[in-house]
Homo-oligomer: A and B are copies of this chain.
């Protein structure tokens, strides 16, 4: 262990790196650390993640994390912001991306989500950490991202409903007459995405496209399975 500080400047040689003085350029290390921390946070949750574990994964010492990112909360915030912005952007563009081109919106969103998560699938769960210290900035910021995604999910739900709804049964019993019903629909849709990502994590060999196709089949299957009450 603790191999002597290797001489070579590492594998990356990022373009903007101001040439190497010694070890791995700071920008590269920061990326490595962010990646490792994101995985750990997403996998075990904030509280159960130890900085030593993250550091070991990168092959450095706990101290370096502090020097680059400050205290644990700040490291988490760095992960959270990176992940949150990336995912929000992915979803936004997928939803805004011409309502008529290609497959219908839900699948487009899923595909975009999977693409944004490829290579770091646990990242999604950084947003849904339940072990964040209550009333802390991390908790607030995570809630912010969740709310943003929820908003998107809600407009998306309404959109889909509006497009396929009117041609159906006339009773106003369903179709989001109750605002809580609409809230639940959006919530369930977002929860479904979460579930799909979790399944994807457990099947690492599944490619983005294969996963998307599988989801398409799932939708088809689910529609037939949700046939109305055969009795009563």
The majority secondary structure among interface residues of chain A is helix
6 interchain pairs, CB-CB under 8 A: A45-B48, A185-B218, A187-B195, A187-B198, A194-B195, A195-B195
**A230–B192 touching, CB < 8 Å:** no
The 7 closest A-B pairs by CB, nearest first: A191-B195, A48-B131, A47-B48, A223-B226, A164-B227, A174-B217, A45-B131
**A229–B104 touching, CB < 8 Å:** yes
Copies of this chain per assembly: 2
Query: Chain B residue with minimal CB distance to A219?
Result: B226
A173 to chain B, nearest CB (A): 7
Check if A18 is an interface residue, CB within 8 A of chain B. Answer: no
Check if A149 is an interface residue, CB within 8 A of chain B. Answer: no
**B214–A181 touching, CB < 8 Å:** yes
Contact partner of A47 (CB less than 8 A), chosen from B47, B220, B222, is B47
Q: Which of A204-218 contact B (CB under 8 A)?
A: 214, 217-218
Query: Chain B residue with minimal CB distance to A191?
Result: B195
Q: A100-B231, A131-B48, A188-B192 are in contact. Are A157 and B225 (CB under 8 A)?
A: yes
User: Which chain B positions have C-beta within 8 A of A119?
Assistant: none
How many angstroms between the C-alpha atoms of A183 and B161 in the bound complex? 28
User: Which chain B positions have C-beta within 8 A of A164?
Assistant: 224-225, 227, 230
Check if A203 is an interface residue, CB within 8 A of chain B. Answer: yes
Query: Chain B residue with minimal CB distance to A197?
Result: B191
Query: Chain B residue with minimal CB distance to A134?
Result: B44
A190 to chain B, nearest CB (A): 8
**B45–A181 touching, CB < 8 Å:** no
Contact partner of A223 (CB less than 8 A), chosen from B102, B176, B192, B227, is B227
- In the complex, given contacts A47-B48, A164-B227, A188-B195, what are 17 additional A-B residue pairs having Cβ atoms less than 8 angstroms apart? A45-B48, A100-B231, A104-B231, A125-B130, A160-B225, A181-B218, A181-B221, A184-B196, A184-B199, A185-B218, A188-B196, A190-B195, A191-B191, A191-B199, A223-B226, A223-B227, A223-B228
